[in-house]
Amino acid sequence: MTTPSPAQVNLLLADALERYSRAELASALGVDVRTIIRWAMSEAAPKPYLGAALESLLRPRTVLRHEAPKFTFVDLFAGIGGIRQGFEQYGGECVFTSEWNAFSKKTYTVNFGANHKFIGDIVGQHSEVPEHDVLLAGFPCQPFSIAGVSKKNSLGRPHGFEDPTQGTLFFEIKEIIKMTRPSAFVLENVKNLTSHDRGNTFRVIRSVLEDDLGYEVHSRVIDGGHFTPQHRERIVIVGFARETQFDWNELKLPSKADHQMVDVLHKTDGSEPFLPHDGEKYFNFTNQDVQEKYTLTENLWRYLQDYARKHRAAGNGFGFGLVNGSSRSRTLSARYYKDGSEILVSQVGKRPRRLTPRECARLMGFDDSFVIPVSDTQAYRQFGNSVVAPVFKEVARVVTPHMLAVKNATLAAAENSSAVA
C-alpha cells in the first residue's frame, strides 16, 4: 500500500472524523483523544504510517467477489462475519445481513462493505429477508451455554426455550426458513446445546427442522482446535431441502498437533508484519515487542496468583491459563477483556501479558487483512463471541456441492411442473 501524501492524509482524516467518533478513532489508531483533537484543529498531523492506517480503516478489506455467483446466502446473527467468509470462498454472494450489536456491525461493514441490506434486530423482520440459497445463522448461545445457564439459574431466570427473549430467537430462524425455503441452512451454537435441559432443547430444535420444516438434518460437534491452537468445540447443524448424500466424514480436519501458539503470537525477532490498519496499536516496531499496556499490572498479577492458590487448596481447577509459543490455549471467551486470565502469555523477566486483539483475531482464524476498528474491550468481546473462521470454510467446502445439487433439482422440478401446466 502506498503511503498517502500529507494532503491525502488530511482528506482521509476528515472522512474518518465523519465516520468515527474521536474516541473510536483514537482507539483504532492507538493514540489518545487529545491527539485526534489536535489533528482535527490542524495543530499537528498524523505520522505517515497512521495515514496508511486511516486509509485502511476507511476502505473495506479486499472481499472475494464473484462475477457470476454460484449461490446466494443470508448471514443472520452475523457477529463479525466468521461464518460468512467460507461461503464466499466457495462461490457464494451475501445478499442480506442481520446483527444487532452496533460495534459488531462496525467491524463487519468495515471488513465486508455494505453492498446489500443490513438490519439490526431480526425479530419480526421476516419480510425483510430476500430469497436465498443458504441461510447462515450463529444464533445466540447464552440460553444454552453452561455459563449462561448457570448465571440465569443463579438469578432465578428462565433459560432455553423458556427464556422469553433469547430463547425464542431460534423460532425467528424457523419462520424465515419456512417463508424462504432455502436449499440449505447452516446453524452454529455451543456444544452444550445438545445437553441443555437433559437433551430436550436439542430434540425440539431437530424436530422443528425435520418434522415441521421437512429438512434433512445433520449435526456434528467440531473442535476449532483442528485449525488453530485453541480448544473450542461448537455444534454445527446442517439441513437440506431435499434428500442428499451428505456425510460429515467428508470433512478434512487437520491434526491438532499441527498448531501451536507461536502461530498466532506477535514475532519479536524482527519478522512481525507491519499492518497499516494496525499501525503500532498492538506492537512496538522500534522495540520489536508487544506494547507494554498488555502486560498485567502488579496488582492484577498478584490477585490472579492468590485466586489460583486459593482454589488449588480447595481442590478446584480454577485459575489462570499460562501459555508460551509451544502451548495450546484454553477457549477464548467474551469476558477476556476483564482480566485475560484464561489465556496469559508468559514473558521472560516480566509479568505475563494478555493477548492483543490481533493475536485474538489470529487465534480465531482471521487473517491479518481483517481490520479491527473498535476498542480493545469491544474487540475482545467480538472475537470471544466469534466462530473459528476456518472451521466454516471447511464446512462450506463439504456443504456447497450438496446444496447446489438440491438447488438444481428444485429448479428442474419447478421447470417440469411449469411445462406440464
pLDDT band per the 50, 70, 90 thresholds, residue 287: very high
pLDDT at 166: 42
pLDDT at 4: 67
Mean pLDDT of 121-132: 90
How large a percentage of the chain has pLDDT more than 90? 59
pLDDT band per the 50, 70, 90 thresholds, residue 163: very low
Cell numbers for 115, please give them: 453492498
Whole-angstrom Cα distance, residue 300 to residue 222?
34
For residue 222, the one-letter residue type is: I
Read off the pLDDT of residues 12-65 as tens digits, 9 standing for 90 and up.
888 788 777 788 788 777 788 899 898 888 888 887 667 777 776 776 565 666
| Residue 49 near residue 43, CB atoms below 8 Å | no
Structural domains of the chain in order of their starting residue, each with its CATH number: 6-58 (1.10.260), 71-254+390-420 (3.40.50.150), 261-385 (3.90.120.10)
Whole-angstrom Cα distance, residue 66 to residue 82?
19
Whole-angstrom Cα distance, residue 316 to residue 318?
6
Exposure string over 261-296, b if 16+ CB within 10 A, otherwise e = beebbbeeeeebeebbbbbbbbbeeeeebbbeebbb
Considering the entire predicted model, what is its pTM? 0.82
Cell numbers for 216, please give them: 434433512
Please identify which of the residues 29, 52, 78, 141 carries the catalytic annotation.
141
pLDDT at 164: 33
For residue 106, the one-letter residue type is: K
141 an active-site residue? yes
